[in-house]
Amino acid sequence: MPESQPSTPTSIEPPLPNDPAARTPDGTLKDAQTQTPTSTPTSQSNEPATTKPTSEPATVPESYTFKTPDGTELDKATADAATPIFRELGLSQAAADKLVSFYNEQMKSVADAGSKAVLAMREKWVGEVKSDPELGGKLDTIKADIGRAFDALGDTKLVNEFKTAMDLTGAGDNPAFIRAFWKLSQKVIEGKPVNGAGPSPHGQQPSGMAKKPSLASSMYPHLPTNQ
């Protein structure tokens, strides 16, 4: 006969409280400790429980030291306006530095774009002047006439300040400005009549003064003169 396999012990489900088997003859519940447990207790891990580290709160300074690129300086009014906002947001000095750095990069980008636009405009004007049928072939003459007009002002300081302003704004490269200023300079440097400084010694004499004797009277002083 085949050997019988050992039977695997099976757990007995405890009867429900409303089952007569769960109660004693007098109607009370049987002791739960005498009942066979239906579940195996879960094994406890011997590894110590780990807690997730919490980040330390950012230190919000009373005031910020704003860093700017070399050769630049953050406007004080802007810094004063940004400080309470940074503090309200709870930004640390390091976080504020990142925002200020981003701001500086954006402002530099805007400034560079503006400079490039002005340079391109001035180069376009210079090209238009050189190709202008009236101005292009007379640039040396135009420069000379405008220089003479500056000399006619007799004010070196004013002339230097004017030239500086033209270089700063680039207006001196504009074809319309050059044409208008050239025409004005031509009026300033045009020849003018010489102002008389009194009667010529060989001309009429002022009233009350003797007239210069004629050549005949000089040769023959005894000859009567015509009145």
Do residues 175 and 182 touch, judged by C-beta distance below 8 A? Answer: no
DSSP string, the chain: -PPPPPPPP-PPPPPPTTSGGGB-TTSPBPPGGGSPPSSPPPPPP-SPP--PPPPPPPP--SS------TT----HHHHHHHHHHHHHTT--HHHHHHHHHHHHHHHHHHHHHHHHHHHHHHHHHHHHHHH-TTTGGGHHHHHHHHHHHHHHHT-HHHHHHHHHHHHHH-GGG-HHHHHHHHHHHHHHHS--PPPP-S--TTSPPPTTSPPPPPHHHHH-TTSPPP-
What is the reported pLDDT for 31?
A: 62
Paired strand residues for 29: 23
Overall average pLDDT of the 202-213 stretch: 55
Q: What average pLDDT does range 113-122 have in this prediction?
A: 92
> With contact defined as beta carbons under 8 Å apart, do 74 and 66 qualify?
yes
CA–CA gap between residue 95 and residue 66 (Å, rounded): 11
What is the per-residue pLDDT across 49-100, written as a single tens digit (0 to 9) for each?
A: 555 555 556 688 888 888 777 767 777 888 889 899 999 999 999 998 898 8
How sure is the predictor about 126, in pLDDT bands with cuts at 50, 70 and 90?
very high
- Residue 113 pLDDT more than 90? yes
Q: Is the pLDDT of residue 128 over 90?
A: yes
Residue 216 has pLDDT above 70, yes or no: no
Chain segment 8-39, per-residue pLDDT in tens = 555 556 666 667 676 677 766 666 545 555 55
pLDDT one-digit tens code per residue, 152-178: 888 999 999 999 998 888 888 999 999
